[in-house]
């Protein structure tokens, strides 16, 4: 399996697609600004610039914007997971969580011992020291991910999680630029197309942003379930 190709596929779906989708209002604004002669010449010049012989200015902008929305979306993980009970890959396997049965959690601990040589806390040990139980589960998560790799469907679930997480981070900027476009379209260009399209985009981005928690949690938990399922079958 080509690792480089897998990484590029992940970046395309989980980072660059969200950047393009939430950067649409900026592209729309650029289209209307490019109608002016001098502005069009400037935009054409900037977009035609090449760095290192092949990297265009537009790709560099896309790359940095993708990094910005990725950094922004990481704050959602802090709020919904890290500052609470951790990622689903951690709290699913705690005995205090009711998602999986105790029998499965016991089998999971046995599997971890066999494959990774690490002993996780028993139910009694977790009750006495819940912090230590969480730390051990956190410690093994990355090793399980490396052990499973892309798996059968794990890679796809990871892509979907990254896509929605970054898309929701980009919705903040997409909605902001859409508001600017509505004002510019109404007062400057006097364009119903720009105004209405930007208003629709604003509603879409805002709706997605308001629903960010259930969307992120749902995809994070789906990824964790698939990771555990494939780890147990290896």
Structural domain including 90 reads 3-94+149-233
Q: Where residue 3 falls among pLDDT bands split at 50, 70, 90?
A: very low
| CA–CA gap between residue 102 and residue 234 (Å, rounded) | 21
**pLDDT score recorded for residue 85:** 84
Do 41 and 190 touch, CB atoms closer than 8 A?
A: no
Per-residue exposure over 79-111, b if at least 16 CB sit within 10 Å of its own CB, e if not: ebbeeeebbbbbbbbbbeeeebeeeebeebbeb
Residue 118 lies in a domain: no
How many domains are contained in the chain?
1
pLDDT, tens digit (0-9, with 9 covering 90-100), for 11-59 = 899 999 999 999 999 988 888 777 655 555 655 655 565 555 545 667 7
Residue 169 lies in a domain: yes
Quote the pTM value.
0.85
What number of other Cβ atoms are within 10 A of residue 6's Cβ?
14
Residue 107 lies in a domain: no
Residue 114 lies in a domain: no
pLDDT, tens digit (0-9, with 9 covering 90-100), for 184-233 = 999 988 889 999 999 999 999 999 999 999 999 999 999 999 999 999 99
| CA–CA gap between residue 42 and residue 127 (Å, rounded) | 65
**pLDDT score recorded for residue 118:** 94
Q: How far is CA 229 from CA 31, 94, 144, 188, 222, in A?
A: 47, 16, 11, 56, 11
| CA–CA gap between residue 29 and residue 177 (Å, rounded) | 9
What number of other Cβ atoms are within 10 A of residue 229's Cβ?
14
Residue 110 lies in a domain: no
**pLDDT score recorded for residue 43:** 57
Residue 134 lies in a domain: no
- Rounded to 5 degrees, φ, ψ at 152 are -90, -55
Residue 126 lies in a domain: no
Residue 228 lies in a domain: yes
**pLDDT score recorded for residue 70:** 95
In sequence order, what are the beta bridge partners of 51?
55
Sign of CA dihedral 2, 222, 108, 132: positive
pLDDT, tens digit (0-9, with 9 covering 90-100), for 114-143 = 999 999 999 999 999 999 999 999 999 999
Per-residue exposure over 113-129, b if at least 16 CB sit within 10 Å of its own CB, e if not: eeeeeeebbeeeebeee
Do 170 and 23 touch, CB atoms closer than 8 A?
A: yes
């Amino acid at each position: 399996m080509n690792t480089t190709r897998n990484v590029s596929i992940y970046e395309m779906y989980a980072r660059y697609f969200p950047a393009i989708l939430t950067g649409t209002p900026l592209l729309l604004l650029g289209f209307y600004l490019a109608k002016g002669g001098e502005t069009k010449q400037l935009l054409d010049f900037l977009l035609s610039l090449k760095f290192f012989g092949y990297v265009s200015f537009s790709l560099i902008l896309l790359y940095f914007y993708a990094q910005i929305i990725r950094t922004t979306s990481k704050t959602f993980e802090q709020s919904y997971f890290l500052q609470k009970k951790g990622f689903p890959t951690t709290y699913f396997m705690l005995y205090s969580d009711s998602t999986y049965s105790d029998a499965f959690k016991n089998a999971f601990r046995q599997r971890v011992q066999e494959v990774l040589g690490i002993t996780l806390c028993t139910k009694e040990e977790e009750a006495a020291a819940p912090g230590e139980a969480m730390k051990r589960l956190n410690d093994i998560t990355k090793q399980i991910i490396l052990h499973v790799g892309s798996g059968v469907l794990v890679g796809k679930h990871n892509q979907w999680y990254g896509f929605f997480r970054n898309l929701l981070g980009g919705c903040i900027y997409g909605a902001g630029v859409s508001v600017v476009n509505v004002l510019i379209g109404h007062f400057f260009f006097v364009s119903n197309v720009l105004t209405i399209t930007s208003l629709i985009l604003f509603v879409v981005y805002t709706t997605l942003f308001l629903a960010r928690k259930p969307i992120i949690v749902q995809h994070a938990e789906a990824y964790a379930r698939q990771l555990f399922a494939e780890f147990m079958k290896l």
